[in-house]
Amino acid sequence: MRTLDDLLDEGVAGRTVLVRSDLNVPLDADRAITDDGRIRASVPTLRRLRSGGARVVVAAHLGRPKGGPDPKYSLGPVARRLAELLETEVVLAEHGAQAKAAVEAMRDGDVVLLENMRFDARETSKNDDERAALARELVALAGPAGAFVSDGFGVVHRKQASVYDVATQLPAYAGGLVLAEVEVLRTLTGDPGRPYAVVLGGSKVSDKLAVISALLPRVDALLVGGGMCFTFLAAQGFGVGDSLLEREQIDNCRELLAGGKIVLPTDVVVADGFSAEANTRTVSADAIPDGWMGLDIGPESVAAFTRVLTGAKTVFWNGPMGVFELAPFAAGTRGVAQAIVDATTGGAYSVVGGGDSAAAVRALGLAESGFAHVSTGGGASLEYLEGKVLPGLSVLER
């Protein structure tokens, strides 16, 4: 695939370059950004293009609007933060006439951020013609000398107008962020250093079933925490109280456990309600009381997971060990994350697989530099590890 370096070697001065970034960041009730990691990750590619004299038009999305404008999903807060990081004005332009006028007014080095791409239902349409029509409008903004840079790794597993279809209509290049992510995932799927340990958390087994099945033959140990662990515990015949449970996945979990590589928690932190003010206690994983729910792995489990991670040469982590957003249930995630940092210090190659894991690293005050790589794309990373074809990458290889 052609790269950002190739585009810069060709020259971008005076050219309009459309960049698909992943700026889908979490906002609080006041629409303040609570984690700007993805915005910061987008900055290096944008800076390089600006330095080369490009007129940079950024396409991105935020949340899941219903295919029409919705103020609560506006990229306004993102535009302001991006402007701070780039130390330049970032014009936020609505689709249509406003975007056309904003691009026509650009000078070399200017940045325009298009309003949420998902405000146009064609962005995510399953109809190829509808997506292609929206892509043509984006291509028209770029003009005859335009180019497209794919730099939103978190969306490359989506066949969407601003991710896939634009790349079929403009000279397309992989941005620095996408290239870095692909290189990391090729390491994990190639010949990783051993022992190779994977830590998976999150809510549902069903969300991770495919990647667990794909990873088990390749790894030496797979540590399971988070809400998904309770379906595995149920598969062992344990009662799980009011913990999250996918009954329809119990048989699948039982089959996966038969391989002997999955390590489950031996103790859990339970509560009598889903609240930071709930009553809590730490119990054995086989003794969760009725009416109580497991919301974190316990200290004994953290110690056991740490022992596995201490000897690992490669570690992939995706998904928190508990409800880390609530203080009483953050210790498991913090303990496992620290174990991965310590393993990295000892020479392990560690990858944090984006999504909630990356957010947890920052929320818990851990330095990203403590890991070999912190990904921006949770779902995309998992689909790559599953062996799926990612449309936003395959289109760049044409």
Tens-place pLDDT, residues 283-331: 999 999 999 999 999 999 999 999 999 999 999 999 999 999 999 999 9
Structure tokens at 280: 């809590």
In this predicted structure, what is the pLDDT of residue 101? 98
Residue 67, pLDDT score: 78
Quick one: pLDDT band at residue 356, thresholds 50, 70, 90?
confident
Q: Which neighbouring-strand residues pair with 112?
A: 57, 91
In one-letter notation, the amino acid at residue 173 is Y
Query: CA distances (Å), 8 to each of 54, 81, 85, in order?
Result: 9, 26, 22
In this structure, how many other beta carbons lie within 10 angstroms of the beta carbon of residue 70? 15
CB atoms within 10 A of CB 148: 28
Q: Is the pLDDT assigned to residue 260 strictly greater than 90?
A: yes
Q: What is the H or E stretch that residue 267 is in?
A: strand 267-271
Which amino acid does the sequence have at 62?
L
- In the predicted model, is pLDDT for residue 251 greater than 80? yes
Query: How many Å apart are CA 65 and CA 62, to the nearest integer?
Result: 8
Residue 184 above 90 pLDDT? yes
pLDDT of the residue at 127: 98
- Structure-block tokens of residue 152: 């939103």
| Span 41-59, pLDDT tens digits | 999 999 999 999 999 999 9
Cross-strand pairs, 372: none
- Catalytic residue, chosen from 15, 38, 50, 131, is 38
Residue 61 counted as an annotated binding residue: yes
Q: Which of 59, 62, 57 is nearest to 36 (CA)?
A: 62
392 is an annotated ligand-binding site residue: no
- 11 annotated as ligand-binding: no
Question: What average pLDDT does the chain have?
Answer: 95
Would residue 55 show up in a list of annotated catalytic residues for this protein?
Answer: no
Confirm whether 281 is a catalytic residue: no
Asked if residue 354 belongs to a known ligand binding site, the reply is yes
Pair of tokens at residue 167: 């790349």
pLDDT number for residue 355: 73
The answer on whether 80 is annotated among ligand-binding residues is no
The confidence score (pLDDT) of residue 272 equals 97
The active-site residue, picked from 355, 377, 378, 392, is 355
Residue 391: pLDDT band by 50, 70, 90 thresholds?
Answer: very high
Q: Where are the beta strands (DSSP E) in 41-86?
A: 55-59
3-state SS string for 309-331: HHCCCEEEEECCCCCCCCHHHCH
From the candidates 204, 254, 362, 388, which is the catalytic residue? 204
The amino acid at 276 = A
Nearest to 219 by CA among 347, 314, 341, 311: 314
* Average pLDDT score over residue span 12-22: 98
Task: Please tell me the distance from the alpha carbon of residue 268 to that of residue 281, in angstroms, as a whole number.
Answer: 8
Please give the span between the terminal C-alpha atoms of the chain, in angstroms, as a whole number: 7
- The pLDDT of residue 316: 96
Question: Does the CA dihedral 388-392-397-398 come out positive or negative?
Answer: positive
* pLDDT-wise least confident of 2-11, 185-194, 203-212, 349-358: 349-358
Query: Are the C-beta atoms of 151 and 39 separated by less than 8 Å?
Result: no
> What pLDDT is recorded for position 266?
98
Find the catalytic residue in 152, 353, 379, 392: 379
Q: Is 209 within any annotated ligand binding site?
A: no
Residue 36, pLDDT above cutoff 80: yes
DSSP 8-state symbol, 344:
H
Q: Which residue has the tokens 């988070």?
A: 226
pLDDT above 80 (res 354): no
Q: Is 158 annotated as a binding residue?
A: yes
- The answer on whether 63 is annotated among ligand-binding residues is yes
Determine whether the annotation assigns residue 118 to a binding site. Answer: yes
Asked if 285 contacts 267 with a C-beta cutoff of 8 angstroms, the reply is yes
Residue 155 burial by CB count (10 A; 0-12/13-18/19+): exposed, middle or buried?
buried
Give yes or no: 398 in active site.
no
Residue type (1 letter), 50: R
Above 80 in pLDDT, residue 247?
yes
Q: Is 325 annotated as a binding residue?
A: yes
| Average pLDDT estimate for 256-276 | 97
Q: Which residues are registered as beta bridge partners of 269?
A: 282, 296
With a cut of 80, say whether residue 379 has pLDDT above it. yes
Confidence band, pLDDT 50/70/90 cuts, at residue 377: confident
How far is CA 120 from each of CA 76, 137, 256, rounded to the nearest angstrom?
17, 12, 42
Reported residue count of the chain is 398
270 vs 305: CA distance, rounded Å: 19
> Is 277 a known ligand-binding residue?
no
Residue 235: pLDDT band (50, 70, 90) is very high
Q: How many other C-beta atoms lie within 10 A of the C-beta of residue 100?
A: 14
Is residue 260 annotated as involved in ligand binding?
no
Residue 163: pLDDT band (50, 70, 90) is: very high
Does 379 participate in catalysis according to the annotation? Answer: yes
Q: Would residue 394 be called left, alpha or beta, if left means φ above 0 and alpha means ψ between -120 and 50 degrees? A: alpha
**pLDDT given at position 376:** 86
Tell me which residue has tokens 């994977």.
198
- 166 — pLDDT class (breaks 50, 70, 90): very high
Instruction: Inform me whether the pLDDT recorded for 398 exceeds 90.
Output: no
The answer, yes or no, to whether residue 1 has pLDDT greater than 80, is yes
φ, ψ dihedrals at 314, nearest 5°? -135, 135
